[in-house]
């Protein structure tokens, strides 16, 4: 019997869903699944019980939180898809006073239905069984996850950084050779060091390696290369704003003048 799946989007750009929908073999792959919910490609249906729910996007509104809990209650396995769902995404950069200020500049006194809150990864609200990283995830990873589930097995998450792929490809190290602020050492691999192929430093779009992201030791290296705290913080915050230990790690490095 085919596995029942649902694909959901919370606060996000819908890029992860779009990537899933545009996988070259998606029509053939989809034949192996019974798709119960995928709003982006079909408006039908209420959320119902599925074997696997894929959730893109972060929790940025009360509505997101409510929907996420319903999804979780109705899924045997829940997969967080992409940096928004796994880490909170770029939408967490502005909140509170900063958000009010930016909103006023852009929209003046207009009102919107939802007020922005700090963006949270979905693991802060529900149990997450697997993470499918990326912004958006790579095609081969999407196929790997779907195929592994279809075979009755479970995907293995990568636990090594972008640097591994960069070195394997023999790309010049922009951190060593150009003193660039490259976040490859703390970013989860899987993109085959795409940006480094073009000599562009990694901005960490796939998210920090959970538990072993050494923001402090990398920040120390950046400091030794004369990069200032504000600059380093502004780079690390783009995809790491919600990483709770980051600020503390940076303070430790930059407040120590040794
Ligand atoms: S992880 Fe990236 S591609 Fe996916 S929804 Fe968020 S911003 Fe869009
Ligand atoms: S360029 Fe960046 S990703 Fe590549 S080895 Fe250097 S620090 Fe790591
Ligand atoms: S920013 Fe880093 S993680 Fe994202 S695609 Fe580029 S190299 Fe890969």
| Percent residues over pLDDT 70 in the chain | 96
Over residues 37-42, mean pLDDT: 84
User: Distance, CA 145 to ligand 1 centroid (Å)?
Assistant: 18
**pLDDT above 90: percentage of residues in the chain:** 67
Q: Which residues on adjacent β-strands are paired with residue 77?
A: 52
Q: Which domains, and CATH codes, for the chain?
A: 3-150 (3.40.50.700), 162-254 (no CATH)
Q: Can you give the pTM of this predicted structure?
A: 0.92
Q: Identify the weakest region by mean pLDDT among 105-109, 175-179, 182-186.
A: 105-109
**Dihedral pair phi/psi, residue 71, rounded to 5°:** -60, -45
Strand 33-38 relative to strand 3-9, pairing: parallel
Residues in the chain, overall count: 258
CA-based nearest residue to 238, from 210, 193, 209, 202: 202
Query: What's the pLDDT tens digit per position in 227-253?
Result: 999 999 999 999 988 887 888 889 889
What is the C-alpha R_g of the chain?
19
Phi, psi of 211 (to 5 degrees): 70, -35
What average pLDDT score do residues 137-165 get?
95
* Both tokens assigned to 20: 């899933």
Alpha carbon of 73 to ligand 1 centroid (Å) = 24
Which ligand is closest to the CA of 208, given by its number?
3
Predicted confidence at residue 13, as pLDDT, reads: 94
pLDDT at 45 over 80: no
pLDDT beyond 80 at 210: no
- pLDDT higher than 60, residue 258: no
Sign of CA dihedral 230, 231, 233, 237: positive
Closest approach atom of ligand 1 to CA 19? 3
Distance CA(252)–CA(115), nearest Å, equals 34
Residue pLDDT, tens place only, 47-84: 889 999 999 999 988 889 999 999 999 999 999 999 99
Q: Of the residues 168, 180, 193, 206, which should be mutated to test ligand 2's pocket, given the most ligand atoms within 8 Å of the CB? A: 193
Whole-number Å distance between alpha carbons of 26 and 142: 10
């Amino acid at each position: 019997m085919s596995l029942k799946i649902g694909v959901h989007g919370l606060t996000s750009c819908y890029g992860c869903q779009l990537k899933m929908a545009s996988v070259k073999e998606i029509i053939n792959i989809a034949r192996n699944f019974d798709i119960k919910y995928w709003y982006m490609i079909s408006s039908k249906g209420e959320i119902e019980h599925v074997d696997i729910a894929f959730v893109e996007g972060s929790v940025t509104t009360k509505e997101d939180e409510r929907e996420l809990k319903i999804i979780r209650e109705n899924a045997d396995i829940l997969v967080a898809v992409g940096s928004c769902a796994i880490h909170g995404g770029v939408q967490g950069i502005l909140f509170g006073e900063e958000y009010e200020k930016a909103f006023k500049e852009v929209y003046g006194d207009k009102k919107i239905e939802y007020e922005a809150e700090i963006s949270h990864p979905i693991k802060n609200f529900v149990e997450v069984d697997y993470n499918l990283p990326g912004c958006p995830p790579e095609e081969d990873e999407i196929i790997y996850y779907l195929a592994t589930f279809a075979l009755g097995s479970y995907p293995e998450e990568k636990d090594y950084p972008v640097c591994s792929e960069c070195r394997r490809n023999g790309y010049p190290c922009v951190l060593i050779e150009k003193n660039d602020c490259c976040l490859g050492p703390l970013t989860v691999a899987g993109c085959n060091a795409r940006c480094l192929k073009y000599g562009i430093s990694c901005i960490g779009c796939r998210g920090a390696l959970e538990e072993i992201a050494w923001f402090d030791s990398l920040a120390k290296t950046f400091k030794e290369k004369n990069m200032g705290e504000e600059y380093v913080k502004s780079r690390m915050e783009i995809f790491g704003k919600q990483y709770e230990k980051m600020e503390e790690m940076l303070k430790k490095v930059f407040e120590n003048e040794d």
